[in-house]
Chains A and B, each alone.
Chain A
């Protein structure tokens, strides 16, 4: 989920296939992680979250995996649909009773017909 300058990483996936969006974080003290979806012209929308005492959490068609050893987070979307086209952000809470949520740069998911 890292980006450089103006360019968001883009993942192109065939409709019906599974999507995997990756995110690296740097703060080993972060204890809560969230994935958000942002459609064009809208604010980010919560998808799924995970706390640092877990390594996997499943929702409806989505799964989040957390690997604290390498500070890596992934979002898996099963059977990708046209409505899944959006920019996906991973976000983290830095812990230490701090409530702020820090966002990564985002990954654009493009669905191929």
Chain B
């Protein structure tokens, strides 16, 4: 298994532009998590899905952020419009679902908003 796959690995964009981050979870995992990592705030949970359904989005910073999981093998995190304070590393992780809590993380997407 190739693990959790995220793209792009690096993105540099200008303030106001739309950013879309993508994630392919491990096949057979039915829970997917999006985290954001910064020096100041550490690893913050943004949103997680069980069986493609968003369960808890209380960590999503504001309406500029949205996440979707149209099927079991794909999820997106979108920021529109992006701001410099959104600069961070965004991680996607998946797990085997309820009761199987070990998360496997992707390599992350480093976002820089100028």
Q: Does any Cβ of B come within 8 Å of A43's Cβ? A: yes
Classify the interface of chain B: helix, strand, loop or mixed: strand
Q: From residue 92 to 113 of chain A, which have CB atoms closer than 8 A to chain B? A: 93, 97-106
| Closest residue of A by beta carbon distance from B95 | A99
Q: Is the CB of A42 within 8 A of B101?
A: no
Let me know if A106 and B42 touch, CB within 8 A.
Answer: yes
Q: Which residues of B contact A (CB under 8 A)?
A: 4, 31, 33, 35, 39-40, 42-43, 45, 48, 50, 55-56, 91, 93, 95, 97-98, 101-108
- Assess the B33–A101 pair: CB atoms within 8 A: yes
Instruction: Show the binding face of A for B, using Cβ within 8 Å.
Output: 3, 5-6, 32, 34, 36, 41-46, 49, 89, 93, 97-106
A-side interface mostly: loop
